[in-house]
A and B are shown apart, each in its own frame.
Chain A
Amino acid sequence: MSEPGQENIFYLDHLVAQPGRAEELLRFYMSDYVPQAKGRGLSLVHRWVTPPLWLREQSNELFVIWSVQGAQAWWDATRHRRADPSFLGFWAKAQPMIVSRRRLFLSDVDDVNSLNHV
């Protein structure tokens, strides 16, 4: 359990890659998106792939997890992004490599009470 305002808030990018293109998508994500996101104060926590081999004929699914500390930091990162919408260019260029994507925001279950006590 974290101190109020110090909870880890996680961003999960769940990307379903086009068949055979997951490794290419991840390379592009790392080279183009990651520097932008780090510049907004996000910390890269995990890069997971299932299944754990690069499929040639079917889709891999990528799970990229970021974190910030506290809801205020979440808003700070969001405001940075609004001021510089260059990230939209990344998603437009990446779209041909993606079947579907979803972004979720998560916390440790032990931090739910603290996060809701505002």
Chain B
Amino acid sequence: MYRVTNVLSLSEGADAAALIHDLAATAANSRQVLSSALAPTLPEASAAGDYIWRLHFANEAGARVWAAEDGLEANAIMNNPARVRQVDSVGYVGGRAGSKETLARGVYRLLLLGLDEAASTSDVAQFEYETYEMGLYIPSIVRWRISRVSEGSGTEPWTHIWEQEYRHPDGLLKTYMLHPHHWGWINRWYDPECAEHIVHNVCQSFCLFDNSAF
């Protein structure tokens, strides 16, 4: 499975309904797209962007075929400054994942990460493991995945995407934030006052879902 996830910020005055319709059509028309989900972001906690658009393909080759066919129209829409102000986009093969149960609906949250390109291989591996480990310790995370980005674009050079699913927004905004694995352990990779600091850029966003990203 290969995934392309986009965080879209609409231009002022853009017709959101038309945009959603037009983007969804580029996925619906394609045999390469196995599933497509386009949802408005939730307003809480300064979520980035106005919409999250997730596309699944059988493999990276399928994504490339789509990009050269129906995806051309999608890219034209997303590169039209009258409609879209900013796009952060990542393509990736799903990395290490965990699951406690399957949710029919809930909250999907993503965190795009830009790691220091000078970070050691062992530090990156440890960071990835501890990120995966969050799902084992934090009870509100129901499904989770940390993946390396194959291809990214946008405001920063994204290297990873950290995805989670929760039953309710409180699972993210309270339990995830207040759990000691977050502030007392993994945060050191993000904290410029800690010697382990390697995460230089982040973009977080979340939305409701009614079809699991996993």
Residues of A within 8 A of B (CB): 9, 71-72, 74-75, 78, 81, 85, 87-88, 91, 100-103, 105-107, 112, 115-116, 118
Total B residues in contact with A, Cβ cutoff 8 Å:
16
Q: How far is the CB of B9 from chain A (nearest CB, A)?
A: 21
Residues of chain B contacted by A78 (CB below 8 angstroms):
183, 187, 191
Say if the beta carbon of B180 comes within 8 Å of chain A.
yes
Contact (Cβ within 8 A) B194 A71 = no
Q: Does B179 contact A (CB under 8 A)?
A: yes
In the assembled complex, how far is the CB of residue A103 from the closest CB belonging to chain B, in whole angstroms? 5
Which B residues are closer than 8 A to A by beta carbons? 174-175, 177-180, 183-185, 187-188, 191-195
- Rounded to whole angstroms, the CA-CA distance of A118 and B178 in the bound complex is 7
A-B contact count (CB 8 A): 47
**B180 partner, pick from A71, A88, A100, A101, beta carbons under 8 A:** A71
Query: Which residue in A91, A100, A118 is a CB contact (below 8 Å) of B175?
Result: A118
> B183 and A118: CB pair below 8 A?
no
Query: In whole Å, how far is B6's beta carbon from the nearest beta carbon of chain A?
Result: 26
Nearest neighbor of A4 in chain B, beta-carbon distance: B178
Do B184 and A9 touch (CB < 8 A)?
yes
12 contacts between A and B (CB under 8 A): A72-B178, A75-B177, A75-B183, A78-B187, A78-B191, A88-B192, A102-B194, A103-B194, A105-B183, A105-B184, A105-B185, A118-B174
| Contact residues in B for A91 (Cβ distance below 8 Å) | 192-193
Option from B183, B185, B194 in Cβ contact (under 8 Å) with A74: B183
- Which residues of A sit under 8 angstroms from B194, Cβ to Cβ? 102-103
On whether the beta carbons of A107 and B188 are closer than 8 Å, the reply is no
Contact present for B179 and A116 (CB under 8 Å): yes
**Closest Cβ of chain B: how far from A76's Cβ, in Å?**
11
Residues of A within 8 A of B178 (CB): 71-72, 75, 118
CB distance from A112 to the nearest CB of B (A): 8
A107/B183 in contact, CB under 8 A:
no
Q: Provided the pairs A75-B177, A115-B180, A116-B179 are in contact, do residues A87 and B193 lie with their beta carbons within 8 angstroms?
A: yes
